[in-house]
Amino acid sequence: EAGVTQSPTHLIKTRGQQATLRCSPISGHTSVYWYQQALGLGLQFLLWYDEGEERNRGNFPPRFSGRQFPNYSSELNVNALELEDSALYLCASSLKAGGHNEQFFGPGTRLTVL
C-alpha cells in the first residue's frame, strides 16, 4: 500500500514569490493535515482538511492557505514568501477525522526561501 506522498521534494523560491506544495494521502484516508517544521523547532500545526472542508487552522498568517480536492489530495499555498518560511513542510493523513487518530506522515517538502 502506498504511503503519503508529497511533491516536490525540494523547492527553492525567492522572497515575495508564491509556493505550492502538494500531498496525496493514503488511499481511503479522508483527513489531511499540514505541518511546518523550521530548523531546530518542533512541528507546528498549519491546517487540517477533512472531506474537502477546512476543519482547523493553526496560528499562521492568512498567506498560508490550502484546499482539499474531491480525491482527498491537498495543496498548500504560501503567498508572499518570507525568509522565515524556509522549513520542512510535512503532510499527514488519517483514516478518520480527529487528532487522536493515527496520522501517517509523508517525507515532506523542503522549502528554501532566498
Partner 1 sequence: LAKTTQPISMDSYEGQEVNITCSHNNIATNDYITWYQQFPSQGPRFIIQGYKTKVTNEVASLFIPADRKSSTLSLPRVSLSDTAVYYCLVSSGNTPLVFGKGTRLSVIA
Task: For residue 33, give the nearest of 108, 91, 88, 78 by alpha carbon.
Answer: 91
Does 7 bind partner 1 (CB under 8 A)? Our answer is no
β pairing state of 109-113 and 10-13: parallel
What is d(CA 95, CA 86) in angstroms, rounded to the nearest whole number? Answer: 29
Does 90 bind partner 1 (CB under 8 A)? Our answer is yes
Looking at residue 11, its amino acid is: L
Closest to partner 1 by CB, 38 or 80: 38
Cβ contacts of 112 within 8 Å, gap of 6 or more = 10, 11, 12, 13, 86
Does 49 bind partner 1 (CB under 8 A)? Our answer is no
Contact range with partner 1 by CB under 8 A, out of 11-19, 20-28, 53-61, 70-78: 53-61
Using the rule CB under 8 A, which residue among 5, 26, 107, 112 binds partner 1?
107
Residues that bind partner 1 (CB under 8 A): 4, 33, 35, 41-45, 48, 55-56, 58, 88, 90, 92, 97-100, 102-108
